[in-house]
A and B are shown apart, each in its own frame.
Chain A
Amino acid sequence: MAGTPSTTQPAMGGGGSGPNLLRTRTPRSVGENAIRVSLFVAAAISVITTTLIVLSLLRETVAFFGDVGATEFLFGTKWTPQLAGEQQSFGMVPVLVGTLYITGIAMLVAVPLGLLAAIYLSEYAPPRVRKIIKPILEVLAGVPTIVFGFFALTFITPELLRPLLGPEVQQSNQLAAGLLVGLLVLPTIASVAEDAMTAVPYSLREGAFGMGASRLIVSLRVVFPAALSGIIAALVLGASRAIGETLVILLAGGSGQLLPQIVTDPTQASGSMAAFIASTATGDAPTGSIEFETIFAVGFTLFVICLVLNLLSIRLVGKYRQVYE
């Protein structure tokens, strides 16, 4: 601590009588100051870079809206930004729908499975089983997403979907992408929801068991509602990951570059906003061109969507948060 007297000084420094309470510069106090400053710098860097990123997004986005009307962008249903002349159209709805469609399929897979896994792990699994499965889930949550995309492309579509649904299933299709994004976010949802349920104090379970509640009732009617805020956070985290997921969709769901109309057939390719950004940014649109600025407009929209989702979750989490002493 800064107030610790240095060992080289007499114990009674300052006032003559009584212990020395004065601040002294010791190697340790200097070190602590250095640590505090570097921590502040680290925090500041992350805030500054985020701000800079948003500003740069904003600059190109403003340029984009100088050429394309906001109404066309937000409500138009023909998305062909790469085509030339008359054919070019900037109606973002199809790519937004593609994003939500794939995210929807993903959540359909990940929410029930993830919550069931969380309930099992937190309420049913013997401690030994939990000790094995929990780290596996956490490792799975960190598998590079390209692996999932590749798996969809080489296995799910040709070996599973085509035999089941017929040969007209496209190489890239929303169903395969949705399923794989679902598997991708499943461990995240399971793991975060399990943490939330495990954090519910044991005394609540005891209270319910003590009245003759079965394990199922305790899980669903006591633990689940008590952990609701954490479970909502898990779902939002999963949904944000699904919405922002790029590689799996690019590989297995479509690039989102050419969508003359909204795609509603799950066996057809669409793509997502993130996939569009990735594929366009790695393409040959010249800097400063309208095609190039489209990337930023879409990116900014994606940013706003995720921001809204997170704000919503913060409110929900706050609403359902319980404080247990």
Chain B
Amino acid sequence: MPDTTRTAESDPTKTMDEPTGSTSSSSAHEVSPHLEPKPASETPSTETIFDCRNVDVLYSGKLAVAEVTAPLMKREITALIGPSGCGKSTFLRCLNRMNDLIPGAEVRGEIIYHGQDLYAKDVDPVQVRKHIGMVFQKPNPFPKSIYENIAFGPRIVGMKGDMDEIVENALKRASLWDDVKDRLKDNAFGMSGGQQQRLCIARALAVEPDVLLMDEPCSALDPISTNRIEDLMLEIKEQYSIVIVTHNMQQAARVSDKTAFFTVDLSAGESNRVGRLVEHDVTEKIFTQPEDKRTEEYVTGKFG
């Protein structure tokens, strides 16, 4: 089996300029435990938001995802695609340390975010998640009112300002305001699935993160709701970096700037299946002239 990370190395999108202040040695961290994103620079999409270096994920000592090396770009939408079980969700959860919540999960390697390794010893995962929000496959609003769903995050992170305004802004950004402005006090469970998912996006945006991770956010939704969420992603990518896992090729093609294709490596046997990054490139290239045969087979539907 050839080293699949090679393709990522030769990835033309990889800018070799290091993010500010990062050193390649993981022992010399002078990072503060409070991750404060630095002000945005004028030149988007040549700057990395996550610089992943040799990321391995293990569950109870068993390798699930191996050797992911990829720079993910600021203010772009990166789509993660690949067959079921190839570790897309697992890799996504590394990016905001959600894997810390799974007993037995272990992450190796480095993920440099604003010059700091997310997995450095003194980094607090709770702080990380305040800046890197997440939207899940199934809408998961809290059993509270629409208003309280949005206000929850800003309250716990101690955001200052008028809460009504914060809630209104978040709902507007998720283009949900007009749907719900007259029933903010209603329970969120009374909304449609698509509205619930947009509520979850609004909820994540309310704490003003700088990255949004989305794990198959549309898989439980009808095409119209899916469309609205895709439009929404395209709107908000001006301000946020987005990483989205999707099984929907058209969706990846429609919304993403870059696409990363993962696959399951069975070379060590069926019981040692490992997810690997095969190719990471400009979306159009992945879908029209991929470097790797496996990518081509997958995107043309001959595989998985």
A217 at the interface (CB under 8 A from B): yes
CA gap between A72 and B270 in the complex, in Å: 81
Interface contact B156-A213, CB-CB below 8 Å: yes
CA gap between A206 and B144 in the complex, in Å: 16
A-B contact pairs, 16 of them (CB 8 A): A203-B136, A208-B142, A209-B101, A211-B134, A211-B152, A211-B153, A211-B203, A212-B126, A212-B127, A212-B156, A212-B207, A213-B129, A213-B153, A214-B156, A221-B152, A225-B144
Interface contact B156-A221, CB-CB below 8 Å: yes
Besides A210-B204, A211-B134, 18 more A-B contacts (Cβ < 8 Å) are A127-B103, A203-B136, A203-B140, A206-B134, A206-B140, A207-B136, A207-B140, A207-B141, A208-B142, A211-B152, A211-B156, A212-B153, A212-B157, A217-B156, A221-B152, A226-B143, A322-B143, A324-B143
Q: Which residue of A lies closest to B204 (CB)?
A: A211
Nearest CB on A from B254, distance (A): 25
Q: Which residue of A lies closest to B153 (CB)?
A: A211
A317 at the interface (CB under 8 A from B): no
With a cutoff of 8 Å between Cβ atoms, the chain B residues found around residue A305 in the complex are none
Known: A206-B98, A217-B156. A211 touches B133 (CB 8 A): yes
CA gap between A324 and B101 in the complex, in Å: 22
With a cutoff of 8 Å between Cβ atoms, the chain A residues found around residue B136 in the complex are 203, 206-207, 210
B198 at the interface (CB under 8 A from A): no
B88 at the interface (CB under 8 A from A): no
CA gap between A307 and B14 in the complex, in Å: 71
CA gap between A214 and B129 in the complex, in Å: 10
Q: Which residue of B lies closest to A127 (CB)?
A: B103
With a cutoff of 8 Å between Cβ atoms, the chain B residues found around residue A217 in the complex are 156
| Chain A interface residues (CB < 8 Å from chain B) | 126-127, 201, 203-204, 206-214, 217, 221-222, 225-226, 322-324
CA gap between A203 and B196 in the complex, in Å: 14
With a cutoff of 8 Å between Cβ atoms, the chain B residues found around residue A201 in the complex are 140
CA gap between A201 and B143 in the complex, in Å: 11
Nearest CB on A from B33, distance (A): 14
Interface contact A211-B143, CB-CB below 8 Å: no
With a cutoff of 8 Å between Cβ atoms, the chain A residues found around residue B204 in the complex are 210-211
Interface contact B129-A209, CB-CB below 8 Å: yes
- Of the listed residues B129, B136, B203, the one surrounded by the most CB atoms of chain A closer than 10 A to its CB is B129
Known: A126-B103, A214-B126, A221-B152. A207 touches B157 (CB 8 A): no
Interface contact B98-A209, CB-CB below 8 Å: yes
Known: A206-B98, A208-B152. A213 touches B126 (CB 8 A): yes
- Of the listed residues A206, A210, A212, A214, the one surrounded by the most CB atoms of chain B closer than 10 A to its CB is A210
Number of A-B residue pairs having CB atoms within 8 Å of each other in the complex:
72
Interface contact A203-B138, CB-CB below 8 Å: yes
Interface contact A211-B103, CB-CB below 8 Å: no
Interface contact A226-B142, CB-CB below 8 Å: yes
Known: A217-B156, A225-B143. A207 touches B103 (CB 8 A): no
Known: A127-B103, A204-B142, A225-B143. A211 touches B129 (CB 8 A): yes
B73 at the interface (CB under 8 A from A): no
With a cutoff of 8 Å between Cβ atoms, the chain A residues found around residue B189 in the complex are 322-323
B96 at the interface (CB under 8 A from A): yes
Nearest CB on B from A127, distance (A): 6
B200 at the interface (CB under 8 A from A): yes
Binary per-residue interface labels of chain B (183-216) against chain A in the complex, 1 for a CB within 8 Å, 0 otherwise: 0000001000000000010011001000000000
With a cutoff of 8 Å between Cβ atoms, the chain B residues found around residue A221 in the complex are 152, 156
CA gap between A324 and B189 in the complex, in Å: 9
With a cutoff of 8 Å between Cβ atoms, the chain A residues found around residue B96 in the complex are 210
Interface contact A211-B207, CB-CB below 8 Å: yes
CA gap between A209 and B128 in the complex, in Å: 10
Interface contact A204-B129, CB-CB below 8 Å: no
Interface contact A207-B101, CB-CB below 8 Å: no
CA gap between A321 and B110 in the complex, in Å: 44
Q: Which residue of B lies closest to A325 (CB)?
A: B138
With a cutoff of 8 Å between Cβ atoms, the chain A residues found around residue B98 in the complex are 206, 209-210
CA gap between A226 and B148 in the complex, in Å: 13
Q: Which residue of A lies closest to B157 (CB)?
A: A212
Nearest CB on B from A229, distance (A): 10
CA gap between A210 and B211 in the complex, in Å: 12
B130 at the interface (CB under 8 A from A): yes
Binary per-residue interface labels of chain B (85-117) against chain A in the complex, 1 for a CB within 8 Å, 0 otherwise: 000000000001010010100000000000000
With a cutoff of 8 Å between Cβ atoms, the chain A residues found around residue B153 in the complex are 211-213
With a cutoff of 8 Å between Cβ atoms, the chain B residues found around residue A324 in the complex are 143
